[in-house]
Structure 1
Amino acid sequence: MAQHWQELVPVDRYIVASNGLLHEYDRKILSLLYQPLIGPDCFSVYMTLWSEVEENRLWSEASSHHFLMNLSGLNLKRIYEARLKLEGIGLLKTHVKNEDDIRSFIYELQPPLSPEQFFVDGMLNVYLYRKIGKNHFLRLKRFFCDRTMSEHEGYEEVTKPFQDIFVSAPSNTLQYLQDHSEELDAEKGQQFIGRQSANPIQLPHETFNFDLLVSGLGDSLVPKRSLTPKVKDAICNLAFLYNIDALQMKNIVLSAVNEKDEIDIEELRKAARDWYQFENYDKLPALTERVHPIADRVQLEEPKTQEEKLIRYLETASPLQVMKDLSGGAEPSSADLQVIEGVMLNQQLLPGVVNVLIQFAMLKTDMKLTKGYVERLAGHWARKQIRTVKEAMELSRQEHAKYIEWSSGSAKSPAGKKQSKQKPIRTEILPDWFNEVDKTEKVEHGSQKDAEARKKAIEEKLKSIREKRGGK
């Protein structure tokens, strides 16, 4: 993936366009429904771009990205990353033109989904529920709902129909409109100002193996005509959301077929959600299940050395999977998951980098995720702009001495008393990939036997993980 300075520089020009009028009500939708998912940087960039479009207009004047940096208070890297997130969630379309070494952009703002679209989306509503919890989710749902007319019983509608109030125009007037119909259209190169409907997030059908699904279902069970475009749209989104492959999706589709041999989309969503919660102990998908983006992976060729195999594992496994593997398959606690989700969201660390952080932090703190220590490491790595697994491993080696001070400094004695000045016995355990640097260091002998036993057990566990992942 190209660095942000290759894609964007402060002197690049941009114009803001709006795909239809944006209304004041959209601000509430963006701040209450979208902001928990995209974060404050994305919200700030969207609102700043919106503010550049004058009221009741669709285009802004041209500006430079240096101007946008000053307005938003964000550096170019954060603006670029926010732009990518806005594009991904469907709030922005970006157009670029390169002419005579001058690069200019059009940022086309897309309206957010309506509350009804959002709460029945099948993707965004699940992520929001997982992010803010049941109570706050239901509170937001109540906020965007109001009473229906059916509650006003005893009232009788007396509205007059059109034909009772108006009469048809004279025939000569209608003839004039027919003869000059081209005058009714907008002029060439222009469009009427109005409100455009928002498009929900939809993954392309190529992201799912429908051939394998169809062969598994067979015409005798589910006819091919049941897989309508709308059903395929739902299957693609559900497969991405819940990480369902074609073989697992077969049983889910079968459970959603009704008596007319049609696939009920609502039943399909419910079956997919029930399957995921059954497989994951009644939990919903979260950020910790993301894997490192392909664009930021360095181990693209078939790994040969042990370190390359480990890098491949850390790039292709989710933080949740890494925590499970380090715990022998046991489910991590909700507190540990909150710590990891916090650094992924607040420090914007990529999943592979978080995997290195998990290994390093857990093995340095006796298999515990100490929140303060993890957040301090994450903050340091974020300031260093670490994006790859290899960079994270190298930085851990270079800053080893500093990290020792941080881990020992976080352990305070009871009641704030000073700790004994007796020299501590160094028994910390290091990840397997750290050995090439750490092997030259001396370890004192105090409780060395116990430490070595623990280290050997964890090394065996990491070795089995690498072999399992490397063999796939």
Structure 2
Amino acid sequence: MEHHWKELIPVDRYYVSCKTILQEFDRKIITLLYQPLIENGAFSLFMTLWAELEENRLWSEESTHHSLMGLMQCNLHEIFRQRLKLEGIGLLKTYEKKENDVRHFIYELQPPLSPDQFFNDGVLNVFLYNRVGKNKYAKLKRFFSDKQIDSIQYTPITKSFNEIFKSIHPSEMVSNANDEIIEQLIPQEGNNYINNVAKNEPTYLQEAFNFNLFFAGLSESMVPKKAITDKVKDMITKLSFLYEIDPIEMQKITMSSLTMDDKIDIEKLRKEARDWYKFENGDRLPSIVEQVQPITQRTMNDQQVETKEDQLIKQLELISPKKVLMDLADGSVPSAADLQIIEDVMVNQKLLPGVVNVLIYYVLLRTDMKLTRGYVEKIASHWSRKNIKTVKQAMELAKQEHRQYQTWANTNNKKRSASTKKPVRKELLPDWFVEEKQDQVSEEKVEEVDFEKERQKLQERINKYKGNSK
């Protein structure tokens, strides 16, 4: 069940607006710098809205989302999902008004960051590098930069306005012109002059970072509070998001960035954060992935949790795949190889985080806590072809196709046992298999356990592996 219809329906109407005139250069920036991050769906939506706007400059004619669906040849859920991407990256602001059971929206297009702002952003440039690679990133840098001539040896000789022009003496003005001039100077009622507005960065909510905990462990004698300016706080929020740095680690990074005059060096702060990330994760750069299941694909948003399965669905909708791996390993950081498998599945098979969470949960219990690339990719490919989008859909399909997945697992087990000659273990299953109909006959009996018992067994197995690895 999907909930985009609670936010948007085809008869809802909208205007497209912009506070400035978007230029051809803006189009190049969005195409070459933003498109790799937002992907072609959101890029197409922005360009479609822009095309509606261009005819009327700052405001479009009113239209319906049904007509937008026809233009883009996609469903309303996809339009809503791509709209959220544009909002998140700072290319769109959305306003809503309800009138007689019909919603009216204003989609205000935002000009992109300038190349100088983008390549010095600290977040977007890192994501772009990770998406396009070293060589393409270098080409983009060259495309959006130009040689600089040393102008220090030149002397400025530009004349000022009052050196060239002079004001008209009052005696030269028409006597009754004052009121007329004042009237002509202001725009007509309901109109605004076209303006060059500031470029908008993506918004990073400072509430997402626990500054109370950050300041609680920061001694005033070590880092004065006045050193944590709004600009520094903004950069701390960005870096914590980008590199997943918690407040305790950020305290150490901030202290390392303090200058002799008790100020925080922003560039040093960024470098210290990068160095910390490299030390923790090797040379791999962070990827731009949706951390948790998109809100439009959650089925438990407005639902009351009544069963253990509902509880599990809600949990898997609210955490990231990395967090699932950590939780199943009692907080241990997942290996780079496991993270690479999951990232490849999300990128190549286009599976959403919640669906990947079900995949992780299922596979780890079926394969003795091991993420086997071949087995993971085989199931992921099947789910991708089936267009699985929600946690609930993934669970239901896993139940329906359990025999097939068991065959794939047994094939892998036979290959391994042929070389190791160890007996194949009896497989555990996630607790949501317990609710399968009792009249289903299976050639191999499935072990059914309750939620708590299963979690205890899983925890015992984790502890055993930890003890053996020491």
> Could you say which TM-score interval applies, normalised by the shorter chain?
0.7 to 0.9
SS at match of 1:253: helix
Q: 1:387 aligns with which of 361, 385, 390?
A: 390
SS at match of 2:104: strand
Q: Distance in 2 between matches of 1:75 and 1:304?
A: 32
Q: Distance in 2 between matches of 1:264 and 1:38?
A: 31
Q: 1:171 aligns with which of 154, 169, 172?
A: 169
Sort the Cα spacing of 1:158 and 1:316 in 2 relative to 1 into closer, same or farther, 3 A: closer
Q: Residue 263 of structure 1: CA displacement? A: 0.6
Matches within 5 A, 1:57-206: 57-150=57-150, 161-162=159-160, 166-172=164-170, 180-181=181-182, 183-206=184-207
Matches within 5 A, 1:244-393: 244-287=245-288, 290-292=291-293, 296=298, 298=300, 314-315=316-317, 317-322=319-324, 329-332=334-337, 336-343=341-348, 347=350, 349-360=351-362, 367-370=371-374, 373-381=378-386, 383-384=387-388, 386-388=389-391, 390-393=392-395
Matches within 5 A, 1:18-57: 18-55=18-55, 57=57
1:42–1:83 contact (8 Å) kept in structure 2: yes
Deviations 1:51-80 (CA, angstroms, capped at 9, x unpaired):
011357100111111111111111111001
1:289–1:320 contact (8 Å) kept in structure 2: no
Q: Distance in 2 between matches of 1:3 and 1:289?
A: 18
Q: Distance in 2 between matches of 1:92 and 1:184?
A: 31
1:426–1:444 contact (8 Å) kept in structure 2: no
Deviations 1:366-395 (CA, angstroms, capped at 9, x unpaired):
8422376244223245x34x323x442233
Sort the Cα spacing of 1:394 and 1:333 in 2 relative to 1 into closer, same or farther, 3 A: closer
Sort the Cα spacing of 1:408 and 1:215 in 2 relative to 1 into closer, same or farther, 3 A: closer
Q: Residue 271 of structure 1: CA displacement? A: 1.0
Aligned to 1:450: none
Unaligned runs of 5+ in 1: 414-424, 446-456, 467-472
Report the aligned-residue RMSD: 4.2
Aligned to 2:431: 433
Q: Residue 268 of structure 1: CA displacement? A: 0.9
Q: Distance in 2 between matches of 1:110 and 1:214?
A: 34
Sort the Cα spacing of 1:141 and 1:205 in 2 relative to 1 into closer, same or farther, 3 A: same
2:89–2:203 contact (8 Å) kept in structure 1: no
- Whichever residue aligns with residue 82 of structure 1, its letter is Q
Sort the Cα spacing of 1:442 and 1:75 in 2 relative to 1 into closer, same or farther, 3 A: closer
Q: Distance in 1 between matches of 2:41 and 2:207?
A: 31
Aligned to 1:416: none
Q: Residue 464 of structure 1: CA displacement? A: 5.6
Larger RCO: Structure 1 or Structure 2 (Cα < 8 Å, ≥ 6 residues apart)?
A: 2
2:402 equivalent to 1:397: no
Q: Distance in 2 between matches of 1:306 and 1:98?
A: 38
Sort the Cα spacing of 1:331 and 1:463 in 2 relative to 1 into closer, same or farther, 3 A: farther
Sort the Cα spacing of 1:163 and 1:200 in 2 relative to 1 into closer, same or farther, 3 A: closer
- Whichever residue aligns with residue 90 of structure 2, its letter is G
Aligned to 2:222: 221
Q: Distance in 2 between matches of 1:40 and 1:356?
A: 27
SS at match of 2:373: coil
2:346–2:356 contact (8 Å) kept in structure 1: no
Q: Residue 195 of structure 1: CA displacement? A: 2.6
TM-score, normalised on structure 2?
0.78
Q: Distance in 2 between matches of 1:292 and 1:82?
A: 14
2:346–2:353 contact (8 Å) kept in structure 1: no
TM-score, normalised on structure 1?
0.78
Range with greater deviation from structure 2 (351-360 or 34-43): 351-360
Q: Residue 166 of structure 1: CA displacement? A: 2.4
Q: Distance in 2 between matches of 1:299 and 1:91?
A: 27
Q: Residue 218 of structure 1: CA displacement? A: 1.6
Q: Distance in 1 between matches of 2:315 and 2:51?
A: 44
Q: Distance in 2 between matches of 1:303 and 1:101?
A: 30
Q: Percent identity?
A: 43
Sort the Cα spacing of 1:377 and 1:137 in 2 relative to 1 into closer, same or farther, 3 A: same
Deviations 1:11-50 (CA, angstroms, capped at 9, x unpaired):
2211111131111111111111111111111011110010
Deviations 1:181-206 (CA, angstroms, capped at 9, x unpaired):
56423333221113322111232333
Q: Distance in 1 between matches of 2:354 and 2:40?
A: 23
Q: Distance in 1 between matches of 2:67 and 2:294?
A: 30
Q: Residue 320 of structure 1: CA displacement? A: 3.4
Sort the Cα spacing of 1:45 and 1:284 in 2 relative to 1 into closer, same or farther, 3 A: same
Q: Distance in 1 between matches of 2:178 and 2:248?
A: 58
Q: Distance in 1 between matches of 2:443 and 2:11?
A: 54
Q: Residue 254 of structure 1: CA displacement? A: 0.4
SS at match of 2:356: helix
- Whichever residue aligns with residue 400 of structure 1, its letter is H
SS at match of 1:189: coil
Q: Distance in 2 between matches of 1:208 and 1:367?
A: 32
SS at match of 1:274: helix
Sort the Cα spacing of 1:350 and 1:289 in 2 relative to 1 into closer, same or farther, 3 A: closer
1:290–1:318 contact (8 Å) kept in structure 2: yes
Deviations 1:301-331 (CA, angstroms, capped at 9, x unpaired):
9999986776576455532354577798533
Sort the Cα spacing of 1:3 and 1:229 in 2 relative to 1 into closer, same or farther, 3 A: same
Sort the Cα spacing of 1:190 and 1:316 in 2 relative to 1 into closer, same or farther, 3 A: closer
Matches within 5 A, 1:231-250: 231-250=232-251
Sort the Cα spacing of 1:463 and 1:434 in 2 relative to 1 into closer, same or farther, 3 A: farther
Sort the Cα spacing of 1:52 and 1:123 in 2 relative to 1 into closer, same or farther, 3 A: same
Sort the Cα spacing of 1:77 and 1:189 in 2 relative to 1 into closer, same or farther, 3 A: same
